[in-house]
Amino acid sequence: MDETAPEIISGFLREHAALRQRVAMLESAEAEVTIQHAALVELHNTLEEQVVLASELQQELTECRQELTEQAAAQQAVEAERRQYQTLFDLAPDGYLVTNVAGVIHDANPTAIRLLGLPREYLVGTPLTSFIAPEALYDFHALLHALCNAQSPEQPWTSSFHPPHRQPFIGELTVAVRQEVPPHGRWYYWLLRDITARVEAEAALRQALAEHESLEREAQHAAHFALLGRLAAGLSHEIRNPLGAVVLYVDLLEEELHRPSSDGPEAIVQALAELKTNLARVDNLVQDYLSLVRVTAIERRPQDLGVTVQTWATEWQELAAASGVMLCLDDVACLGSVALHEPTLRRALLNLVQNAVEAMPRGGTLTLAGQRRATHVTLQVQDTGDGISAEQLRRIFEPLYTTKPGGTGLGLYIVQEIVAGHGGQVTVESVEGQGTIFTLTFPVTADPS
């Protein structure tokens, strides 16, 4: 073996040991790197979590800033609204008061301060009752009691107010109740208005209206009596004609009594017939006038209008038949109850029936037709006569207007006044050559017990 071999082997061994040491060092370094890598990975994960948390915190911070901005805007809006309402409260033309449940004043606007006549520092803490007239205190305490029981008044409360340093006035109070969270409790908000001028104006208006109505009544009475005077003058003129005829026929009867003639019995019969005719005419005129005078003071009572009209129609059948007129009834049986004064209403209908018969000298049909509604009934008097011209129709209800030879002009005027006295109205329709319809309308009333 070469002498250098041991050295070589020794060198190899040293190198081998060095290599093993190097490998051990490398393996140690690799383990450290692995540990560092794991630490780096864990650090990376931690950093990612911190980034997520930072993002979430940033979002929460943004939301908080937005909420704070919105809250600030809302607070500004509330403050602006409060200032607006405070301005309205201060500048309102009506008085505003805030009191507790006992009526003690907590706040007042300038108008209320002016109305009650005390500075605000003296007004606050003063009971509202200190300014109310003594005769109204009981009613005001009743109002407070009702408010305590949650019973708000439906209408404003009106009373006389007696401020200490100004003239009394008539005030109108409107109240609203507000329940606040304790410890503030329950408050009453009052609107106080000085309505003295309005009340005085209303009183003056009522007095003026009363005076006006009184003057109107006096004027109506004067016009009524003036009309009665005209009618009386016309009536006296109309009565003279039949009375003159009565006197004439009485003289003829007296002459026949003293100097009988050969045709005496016939003359007597004719004279008596004329006397009856003219006396009936006088009676008819007097009854018309009396009906007109009494119409404003008639006393009505509920009656079955249908039954009443049927009774009258039975009496008028002979009158119609004597002129060749057929009297018919159409739906009058179920007219129901109407408040009426039988004699005067009969007079009105009889006038219409007589006019209708006279309008049909060659005969025809006279119909009494009825109709019942919820609030009123109608009764129509229809004829098939010659009708009335448009010019005459416009004046037909005027007093003393007539187109009949020897007519008084009272008949249709009396009809109108009697129907008006029954709370109704009368209208007329007519077509020349076809006939005329008078319609009487009456309010319904409770059935008679």
* 309 and 253 in a common domain: no
pLDDT tens-digit map of 249-267: 787 777 777 777 777 777 7
User: Where a domain ends, among 266, 297, 328?
Assistant: 297
In this structure, the answer to whether residues 254 and 226 fall within a common structural domain is yes
At 400, phi and psi to the nearest 5? 70, 10
Q: Are residues 65 and 101 in the same domain?
A: no
Is residue 406 located within the same domain as residue 316?
yes
State the CATH number of the domain containing residue 188.
3.30.450.20
Query: By the 8 A CB rule, do 418 and 295 touch?
Result: yes
What's the first-to-final CA gap in the chain, in angstroms?
A: 166
User: Cα-flanking dihedrals φ and ψ of residue 336, to 5°?
Assistant: 85, -165
- What confidence score (pLDDT) does residue 366 get? 93
Distance from C-alpha of 201 to C-alpha of 76, rounded to nearest angstrom? 46
Boundaries of domain holding 67: 9-88
Considering only residues 151 and 395, tell me which one the structure prediction assigns the higher pLDDT.
395
Going by C-beta distance under 8 Å and a sequence separation of 6 or more, which residues neighbour residue 386? 359, 432, 433, 435
My answer on whether 315 and 354 are in the same domain is: yes
CA–CA separation, 412 vs 418, rounded Å? 10
The pLDDT of residue 93 is 76
Q: The pTM is what? A: 0.47
- Report the DSSP beta bridge partners of residue 95: 192
Last residue of a domain, one of 265, 297, 329: 297
- Answer with the one of 64, 88, 112 that is the final residue of a domain: 88
pLDDT exceeds 60 at position 2:
no
Mean pLDDT in residue range 414-435? 89
- Contact between residue 177 and residue 186 where contact means Cβ atoms under 8 Å apart: yes
Q: How confident is the model at residue 231 (pLDDT cuts 50, 70, 90)?
A: low
Within this chain, do residues 174 and 239 fall inside the same structural domain, yes or no?
Answer: no
**Domain shared by 67 and 162, yes or no:** no
pLDDT at 89: 60
Kindly state whether residues 388 and 281 are assigned to the same domain.
Answer: no
140, 76: one domain: no
Q: Averaged over 177-195, what is the pLDDT?
A: 78
Q: Are residues 353 and 370 in the same domain?
A: yes
| In-domain check, residue 46 | yes
Q: Indicate if 244 and 183 belong to the same structural domain.
A: no
Same domain, 73 and 142: no
What is the CATH number for 384?
A: 3.30.565.10
Q: What is the mean pLDDT of residues 423-431?
A: 91
